[in-house]
Chains A and B, each alone.
Chain A
Amino acid sequence: MKTTKMLLGCALFAVSLGMSQAYAQTTLRMTWYSDGNEGEVMSDLLRRFEEQNKDIKVVLDQVPFKAINENLPVQLAAGQGPDLARVADLGGVARYMLDLRPHLKDPAYFEANFGPFLEWMRVPGDTSSIPGFMTQLTLTGPFVNKTLFEQANVPMPGPKATWEEWAKAAKDVAAKVQAPFPIAIDRSGHRFLSLAITQGAKLFNEKGEPAVVDEGFRRGAQLVFDWHKNGVMSKELWGSVAGTAYRGANDEFKNAQVVMYESGSWQIGQFDKTIGDAFDWVAVPTPCGPANCSGMPGGAALVAIKTTQHPKEVALLMEYLASDQVAAEFYERSLFVPGHLGIAKKGLEYKSASPQGKAALKVFNEGVSQLSPVANKLQGYVHNRVIFNAVISRLGQAIAGEASLDEAYQRIESDVQQQIAERTKK
């Protein structure tokens, strides 16, 4: 009897082992951050992918944007990263990305549709790897509270208006309607440099090396500095935190405290959902400077990580998500400017967007044609975060009264030099 029981137990164990083998799944971990609803959209898409590929399970780890910029690089450096991650500092983490070409069925599809953006994901010297695709192409640009303009009875400046004209109009509006923030600009080097590029900042010398401070840069810095002095910008944003800390004014804009908010296309989904019909808001073309009316491009990409144990499965997932139909659904439902050339050419309807959201997306899509070569070069530069950080940290100090603008310029140059040297030390 005892022997029979033992044999029966062994048989059951063997059967269960066999069954578990039959249903063995590869689990992929994807680290993801969201600006709006794109996390929900991605969850939906992943669920469908799992239905089609029963042997692959994808765990979506949703983290704050700060974790993507601060924790993920440390994880990656320690070799403890996920299989895939959505990243914004493309150049900064390029060395941890996996070239998917050997595992992709059709690498040419990626080249054809994401070609110009793939360069942003490559380490210097690499001209051919395909680590992933753009989940969104972003463009900096301003949002304006139209209702405040109407209440103040101040006409909104036209499409080719300068930064100075917008500043004057926004200040007039703020004074009449008692809004605390005439102009708010995200405390971010990326956003400031968009303004500086319109003022003629070149940022690189003839050799292609960073030469951040020039006449155009100074003009941009002086504008922002003066705006803090004369009340066009409040110290609460740029002056309220130290170092390289990002500080946005989303909440202030949503609460109708900001007349004009220089941020970017990634805010559309959020504004469309949360502002509703509380007030009318519009996206307007980037104000012009003496040089151009360019915004700064940017974006986030979903990339494969070198340390993955499942490159084939990662490639399969990447192919699914980057395919025309799935990518189009993702961009459309997330209200993102597509980072897929084919889809961008066809255009998207953005069915879920309100008329305000659709209009804003149109403005940003049109802004792509206004991009200056300097802006594109800066976005593709592998150490661009070093420049963004140095600029925001030192200008912040000048605005807080700790240093003069000239001292800030010197520090920006020396910070960039020192940090690039540290970053490239071998």
Chain B
Amino acid sequence: MTLTSKTSPVASPAPVGGLAQSRGTNPVLKLVSRIIDWPMAGLQRLIGERRMPYIFLLPNLVFFGLFVFVPIAINFVYSVTGGPALFPSERPYVGADQYAYLFECGSYVDPNSCREDHFWRGVYNTLFFSLFQVLAMVGLSLLTAVVLNMKIRGRGFFRAVYFFPVLLSPVVVALIWKWILQRDGLLNAAITGFGGDRILFLAEPGWAMFWAIFVSVWAHMGFYTLILLAGLQAIPADIYEAAEMDATPRWRVFWRLTLPLLWPNLIVVIVLSLIRAVQTFDEVFVLTGGGPGTSTLMVVQYIYETAFSNQVQNFGLAAAASVVLGIVLFALTLAQLAFTQRKSS
């Protein structure tokens, strides 16, 4: 197109448009490009060349705004209103009451002292889950990527095997593991087969959290392994050859060469898995239902249940909790951007 050059004779009836020229002799494309060229050139004259990119961004921005920014704004409106009504216009304004209710605590380290203890239990469970899930996820993904980067037999097969769970729906993953872990599941059959006592894995708080983390790592590890594997393969081989010529021990090569060179990829993996962990809902919800008690209740489940599942439908409180969660996720996203930018520079 001729849009980038102010000197192009766009008003000329001749097919001077770049697009038209680039399409050769195809008459349909020629016609289309002529049709497009004319209003675009006019628009460019009207608003100036520098503003034209925003016109091209506009369709996406409209969709993004409609399905992301508008819901965020509506959510915020809900968070400052109360009552059971669904339409914001019918909901009484309550100011920051919902936030005050969420944050009303004797001590923030003791959920029992909080007015809305379920929210804080969700917060602490999510923190605990995120910490251990991310540690396990990054550690195991790194280990797996390093092994899969070696010249081992069946490397392609193992790469596919580790990636396969990523393709499964989280609900399917959780159901499979639920069947394995239940009273008469595969794992208990094995334990009792070896003479051990049956363990109620999903009815004991400690076990339930352990399996929630385990299943989540199992399901998503393949994706992060792939990112790290790509990073490992991007490290120039001559660096390793030089280290080999210096007879550098393998652990030293790993610590001093591989890890620093892989660091940008590791940062991406850490931040992505952290965001994903904070958002966790589906797998844990299907696997444990948030129980026993509230021992695996995550913040997102709290929001869902407060808004929809309690039959009291406290939309305002759920909206306030999701605004808080949104702020946390926004901070994590900013951190990721900062790290990524540092990596680029």
- Report A's interface with B, CB cutoff 8 A: 69-71, 73-74, 77-78, 89, 92, 180, 234-236, 239-245, 247, 385-386, 389, 393, 396-397, 399-403, 407, 411, 414, 419, 422-423, 425-426
Q: A242-B289, A245-B289 are in contact. Are A78 and B86 (CB under 8 A)?
A: yes
Check if B312 sits within 8 Å of A385, measured CB to CB: yes
Q: Which listed segment binds A: B62-70, B153-161, B245-253, B291-299?
A: B291-299
Q: Mark B74-88, 1 if CB is under 8 A from A, else 0.
A: 000000001111110
CA distance A234 to B117 in the complex (A): 26
B308 within 8 A of partner (CB):
yes
A218 to B134, CA, bound (A): 43
Bound CA span A29–B85, Å: 24
Residues on A with beta carbons closer than 8 Å to the beta carbon of B317: 422
- Shortest CB-to-CB span from A228 to chain B, Å, is 10
Contact among A89, A235, A244, A423 with B84 in the assembled complex (CB-CB below 8 Å):
A423
Given A235-B200, A243-B118, decide whether A419 and B314 contact each other with a Cβ distance below 8 A. Answer: yes
Q: Count how many chain B residues have C-beta atoms less than 8 Å from C-beta atoms of the other chain.
A: 39
- Indicate if B322 sits at the interface (CB-CB under 8 A): no
Please tell me if the beta carbons of A243 and B203 are within 8 angstroms of each other in the complex.
no
21 interchain pairs, CB-CB under 8 A: A69-B311, A77-B313, A180-B183, A235-B200, A236-B200, A240-B288, A241-B291, A242-B288, A242-B290, A242-B292, A242-B293, A242-B297, A242-B301, A243-B297, A245-B289, A245-B291, A400-B292, A400-B293, A414-B115, A426-B83, A426-B92
The reply to whether B83 and A422 form a contact with Cβ atoms under 8 Å apart is yes
Q: Could you tell me the distance between the alpha carbons of A241 and B178 in the complex, rounded to whole angstroms?
A: 13
Known: A70-B309, A242-B290, A243-B297. 18 other contacts (CB 8 A): A74-B86, A74-B308, A77-B84, A180-B183, A236-B202, A239-B203, A240-B288, A240-B289, A240-B291, A242-B288, A242-B295, A242-B301, A245-B289, A245-B290, A247-B289, A422-B84, A422-B317, A423-B312
Question: A89: which of B200, B204, B311 is its contact (CB, 8 Å)?
Answer: B311
Chain A's closest residue to B208 (CB) is A240
Name the one of B205, B293, B309 contacting A244, with C-beta atoms under 8 angstroms. B309
What residues on B are CB-neighbors of A386 within 8 Å? 312
Q: Hey, which chain A residues are within 8 Å of B297, CB to CB?
A: 242-243
**In the complex, how many residue pairs between chain A and chain B have their CB atoms under 8 Å apart?**
119
| A239 to B305 alpha-carbon distance, docked (Å) | 17
Tell me the complex Cα distance, A303–B200, Å.
42
CB distance from A6 to the nearest CB of B (A): 32
Name the residue of chain B whose CB is nearest to the CB of A402.
Answer: B293
Alpha-carbon separation in the docked complex, A212 to B203 (Å): 28
CB 8 Å contact bits of B307-345 with A (1 = contact, 0 = none) = 011111110110000000000000000000000000000
Smallest CB separation, B192 vs chain A (Å):
12
CA distance A71 to B304 in the complex (A): 12
Asked whether, in the complex, the Cβ of A401 is within 8 Å of the Cβ of B84, the reply is no
